[in-house]
């Protein structure tokens, strides 16, 4: 198959906005992944330098990094990351392009999240937290050999990379001796064996409602489906072949479509229901296939009886759809968009800082008001003290001074306490609001810029 490079002016874009947990180190960072020339990509050293500039207080950076050269900053940061358990930069050149999977791992780490999560979980955290905005429905989590990907409405075919996003209506095809794993946002996976083709006709996932509607069309080859459960009413996961359909709620099974159209279903776990596609276009009688069972449907739509799968067939199906062993390298992140994102981050940080200052001023006013109230109460107490014992006796100057000083002390203490609490609460609330607003604003700005430039520096790369 001859592959044509995708025209960046027609490619879809993916941008990021990363918001660290620590407000004082607020970073809103937009990145578009790009299949571009190496010289147009941001290097690992440049990325770390940007993080140091925009997030100087990060505990992942070495002390005194502002005085270091780029080389020293990179090596010490890589070492510090390694000591914290993140070995993503170990033994890697600072002058080589930053890869997509490295970008995700570093971004996740600098956002203050705990270690121990796999690449897919890290991507999902960023997406579910509302700081990734993307139109993808999944991503390439495993790759061995060559996998070709065509997007809906586009004539050009792109060679997929590890971490390439998967979109609705995507058409994927593995080459000879090639395999790939695609993971949807609901964590269901498709493992394609060699010389296999699938089309993602539909994938809609709502994690809050636990609703999932997925339709995958398998034209030829062998594919293993590992489907998570969708409990909500209306959930479905449907597989369509040239001669049959299969519906599942949550299970693992292999579908093999031979060149003539014959379809074989082999269930490894759970249960599926199948229907043959009749010559008149209608579906035939439903059959239920459970773990360890198999069924064939001929090219003319005639289904065999469900039977126990021979051990040899189970072994063969598992081998054809086993996980890839080798992973292809991914291309760099566009430098131009990374720099624009850094500027957006600075603006967002300034907005958050101004919001915090405004909150502090409000807190100070509240404290002054409270202090005045306390002082007024103290004056009343002073007058009352002068009348104790004898209504006709005026308070002595000493008593007045003592009362006044006590009142002032009480007012001062109360004011400080009120100010402290008010400032802390107001600042926290304002910073939260500002961070959220800034993130939305930054994401919107980054998206608009990406749409305007239409991929000058980027084509769809990946997120994992």
pLDDT tens-digit series, residues 156-187 = 899 998 878 898 899 999 999 999 999 888 88
Structure tokens, 1: 């198959």
245 and 394 in a single domain? The answer is no
Residue 47 lies in a domain: no
313 and 358 in a single domain? The answer is no
d(CA 30, CA 438): 12
* Cα–Cα distance list, 243 to 213, 301, 378 (Å): 21, 5, 90
Residue 162 lies in a domain: no
The residue range of the domain holding 409 is 349-439
179 and 252 in a single domain? The answer is yes
- Residue 102 has a pLDDT of 78
Residue 86 lies in a domain: no
Q: Which helix (H) or strand (E) holds 412?
A: helix 397-453
Other Cβ atoms within 10 Å of 445 Cβ, number: 20
180 and 282 in a single domain? The answer is yes
Residues 6+ apart with CB under 8 A from 420: none
Structure tokens, 322: 């086993």
Would you call 348 exposed, middle or buried from its count of C-beta atoms within 10 A (0-12, 13-18, 19+)?
A: buried
240 within 8 A of 201, measured Cβ to Cβ: yes
CA atoms within 13 A on the CB side of 206: 10
126 within 8 A of 111, measured Cβ to Cβ: yes
d(CA 73, CA 71): 5
b/e per residue, 187-201, with b = 16+ CB within 10 A? ebbbbbbbebbbbbe
- Residue 455 has a pLDDT of 36
SS3 251: strand
Residue 54 lies in a domain: no
Q: Which helix (H) or strand (E) holds 204?
A: strand 197-206
305 and 272 in a single domain? The answer is yes
Strand 251-257 to 287-290 pairing: unpaired
What does the H/E/C string look like for 252-305? Answer: EEEEEECCCCCEEEEEEECEEEEEEECCCCCECCCEEEECCEEEEECCCCCECC
243 and 177 in a single domain? The answer is yes
- Residue 122 has a pLDDT of 75
SS3 407: helix
Q: Which of 298, 332, 293 is nearest to 309 (CA)?
A: 293
414 within 8 A of 370, measured Cβ to Cβ: yes
332 within 8 A of 98, measured Cβ to Cβ: yes
291 and 424 in a single domain? The answer is no
Residue 207 lies in a domain: yes
210 and 292 in a single domain? The answer is yes
Other Cβ atoms within 10 Å of 53 Cβ, number: 14
The CA-based dihedral angle spanning residues 414, 420, 422, 426, taken in that order and rounded to the nearest 10 degrees: 170
Q: What is the mean pLDDT of the chain?
A: 73
Residue 9 lies in a domain: no
313 and 238 in a single domain? The answer is yes
Total number of domains in the chain: 2
- Residue 337 has a pLDDT of 40
Give the bridge partners for 215, in sequence order. Answer: 202, 238
427 and 360 in a single domain? The answer is yes
319 and 405 in a single domain? The answer is no
- Residue 178 has a pLDDT of 96
Residues 6+ apart with CB under 8 A from 440: none
Please list the ranges in the chain whose pLDDT falls under 50.
1-40, 131, 133, 327-338, 340-341, 390-395, 399, 402-403, 406-407, 411, 415, 418-419, 423, 426-427, 430-431, 434-435, 438-439, 442-443, 446-464
Structure tokens, 120: 């897919």
% residues pLDDT > 70 (the chain): 63
250 and 368 in a single domain? The answer is no
Question: Which CATH number characterizes residue 295's domain?
Answer: 2.60.120.1440
């Amino acid at each position: 198959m001859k592959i044509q490079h995708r025209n960046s002016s027609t490619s879809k874009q993916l941008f990021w906005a990363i918001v660290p947990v620590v407000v004082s180190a607020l970073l809103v960072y937009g990145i578009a992944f790009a299949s571009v020339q190496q010289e147009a990509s941001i290097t690992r050293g440049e990325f770390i330098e940007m993080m140091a500039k925009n997030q100087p207080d990060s505990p992942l950076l070495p002390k005194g990094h502002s005085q270091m050269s780029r080389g020293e900053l990179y090596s010490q940061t890589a070492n510090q990351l390694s000591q914290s358990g993140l070995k993503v930069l170990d033994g890697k050149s600072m002058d080589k392009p930053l890869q997509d999977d490295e970008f995700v791992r570093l971004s996740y780490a600098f956002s203050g999240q705990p270690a121990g999560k796999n690449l897919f979980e890290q991507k999902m955290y960023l997406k579910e937290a509302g700081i990734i905005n993307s139109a993808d429905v999944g991503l390439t989590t495993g790759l061995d050999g060559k996998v070709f990907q065509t997007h809906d409405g586009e004539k050009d075919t792109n060679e997929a990379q590890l971490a390439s996003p998967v979109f609705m209506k995507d058409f994927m095809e593995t080459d000879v001796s090639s395999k790939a794993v695609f993971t949807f946002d609901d964590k269901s996976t498709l493992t394609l064996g060699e010389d296999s083709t699938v089309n993602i006709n539909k994938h809609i996932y709502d994690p809050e409602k636990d609703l999932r509607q997925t339709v995958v069309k398998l034209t030829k080859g062998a594919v293993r489906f590992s489907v998570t459960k969708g409990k909500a009413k209306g959930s479905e996961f449907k597989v369509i072949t040239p001669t049959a359909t299969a519906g599942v709620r949550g299970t693992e099974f292999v579908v093999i479509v031979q060149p003539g159209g014959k379809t074989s279903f082999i269930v490894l776990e759970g249960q599926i229901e199948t229907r043959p596609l009749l010559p008149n276009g209608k579906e035939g009688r439903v059959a239920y296939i459970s773990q360890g069972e198999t069924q064939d449907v001929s090219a003319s739509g005639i289904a065999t009886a469900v039977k126990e799968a021979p051990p040899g067939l189970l072994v063969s199906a598992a081998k054809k759809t086993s996980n890839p062993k080798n992973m292809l390298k991914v291309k760099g992140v566009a430098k131009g968009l990374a720099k624009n994102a850094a500027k957006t981050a600075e603006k967002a940080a300034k907005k958050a800082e101004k919001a915090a200052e405004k909150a502090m001023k409000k807190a100070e006013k509240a404290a002054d008001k409270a202090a005045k109230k306390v002082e007024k109460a103290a004056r009343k107490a002073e007058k009352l003290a002068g009348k104790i014992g004898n209504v006709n006796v005026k308070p002595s100057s000493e008593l007045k001074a003592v009362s006044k000083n006590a009142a002032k002390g009480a007012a001062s203490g109360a004011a400080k306490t009120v100010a402290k609490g008010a400032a802390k609460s107001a600042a926290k609330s304002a910073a939260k609001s500002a961070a959220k607003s800034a993130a939305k604003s930054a994401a919107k700005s980054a998206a608009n810029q990406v749409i305007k430039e239409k991929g000058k520096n980027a084509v769809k790369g990946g997120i994992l």
